[in-house]
Amino acid sequence: MEMRAPVWAWTGRLKPRTVDWLIVVVLTVLGLISLGVDPSSERRIAAPFLFPLAVGLLLVQTVPLAWRRTHPSLVLVLIASAFGLKILFGINTSVAAVGLLIGMYSVAVYASGRLRVFFLALAGLGFIAGFVVFAITGNPRSFALSVPSLAHAAAWLLGDYLRTRRAYVAQLEDRAARLERDRDQDRQLAADQERSRIARELHDVVAHDVSVIAIQAGAARTIQASQPQAAAQALALIETTARRTLVELSQLLGVLRKSDGTIPDRNPQPGIEQLSALVSELRSAGLAVDLAVIGEATPLPPAVDLSAYRIVQEATTNVLKHAHARHVEIRVRYSRDLLGLEILDDGAGKNGTSSTSGHGIIGMRERVALFGGALSAGPRPGGGFAVVARLPVNPAA
């Protein structure tokens, strides 16, 4: 069933100042109508000045409401003064009563703390005064002071409630904005840390290749006269290694933002060949693991080899920590231009670190993006979680 919006919902699309002027116009028109049907019209014939005075007091009651948000206390004082003069001259006070209610509400919402309490205290004193007069005289007409004071206090309480609610909502919105900024900073920090780690690993790969170039160059220089064929082979290896090093240097510069002062790990970097050892560790941890190599295994560039291992390592670590899985399948697919990686588990299919914005996924995306590849991570239709990566085997420099 279609829900209809309240008839006043359109006012929410208007500017606050426009709404205030609409209130002024409506109350002024109603006030003029009430003056036209005022039973005291015979008195106005006897005292012609009463009608202009009534119109003037009416405008004092209504026009200041246009500034009720910026000067609520002054507006309430003007309306209350006009209300008192109307009572003094016996003029209809119906519109003035409405203006007083709006004024009390506005004071509660927009005035400062002390003034808000002051006007509420006045309303309370009015109610008490009427009750005391009634208790002394027994005249029911004394409630003419108590009942309006009670209505004014109710208007103040309504305004105070809305003021408190608006402040609470604003606080929640500010907290949500700060949390979102913190999450963005955490994601950026995780990405920066991962890029630094990748850069350090690539540094080791590049350093190894440069060492190979230096050794082979020295060997070629030594044997170029006695063993020209071996020297040519050494030079060919130097050329291949140098080209690969240029690619890896380009990748290194792409991820390296600034040095963090840490000393790179000098241990040999792992690759696809070390997946068997990783699988053994996972099985020792109680996880059933199937490793499938599809296609003919071919030598990979060291940077691609290292990143492929790290992607599998990160994905399976997430499975152990978060997925509550019993079985995981690792597929390595070799093709002419691409290396495919698939890590499929039968766990919950949803966890904090394996979400699309978790730190683990951020690291894997950074590694894949380094080579211009693609990565997808998310729940599997039949249950569990899937990480699928495609790495170009010969990434362009």
Hey, where are the domains in the chain? 9-177, 180-255, 272-392
What are φ and ψ of residue 385, in 5° steps? -130, 145
Q: Quick one: what percent of the chain has pLDDT higher than 70?
A: 66
- Confidence band of 291 (pLDDT split at 50, 70, 90): very high
Q: Which CATH number applies to 272-392? A: 3.30.565.10
pLDDT value at residue 277: 87
Given this model, what pLDDT does residue 173 score? 83
Q: What is the pLDDT of residue 264?
A: 46
Torsion, Cα of 272, 274, 275, 277 (10° steps)? 180
- 369 compared with 131, residue with greater pLDDT: 369
Pick the residue with more confidence: 24 or 193? Answer: 24
Quote the mean pLDDT of the chain: 75
Q: Name the percent of the chain lying above pLDDT 90.
A: 11
pLDDT in tens, 243-269: 666 666 666 665 554 444 444 444 567
Side by side, the strands of the sheet bearing 385-392 are: 288-294, 327-334, 338-345, 385-392, 374-379
Distance CA 105, CA 111 (A): 10
Whole-structure pTM value: 0.43
Residue 355: pLDDT band with limits 50, 70, 90:
very low
Lowest mean pLDDT among 74-88, 143-157, 295-309, 329-343: 143-157
Instruction: Write the CA distances from 252 to 195, 201, 272, 299, 395, integer angstroms.
Output: 9, 9, 20, 21, 13
- Distance in angstroms (rounded) separating the CA atoms of residues 202 and 252: 6
C-alpha pair distances (Å), 293 with each of 290, 309, 322: 10, 13, 26
Residue 65 has pLDDT above 90, yes or no: no
pLDDT for 359 beyond 60: no
In this structure, of 175-189, 224-238, 298-312, the range with the lowest mean pLDDT score is: 224-238
Least confident of 249-258, 292-301, 359-368: 249-258
- pLDDT bin (cut points 50, 70, 90) of residue 98 is confident
In this predicted structure, the answer to whether residue 353 has a pLDDT above a threshold of 60 is no
Q: What's the DSSP call for residue 90?
A: T
Which residues lie across from 289 on neighbouring strands? 328
Residue 129 has pLDDT above 70, yes or no: no
The amino acid at 158: L
pLDDT of residue 374: 92
Q: What is the pLDDT of residue 287?
A: 83
CATH class belonging to 180-255: mainly alpha
Instruction: Provide mean pLDDT across the span 132-144.
Output: 65
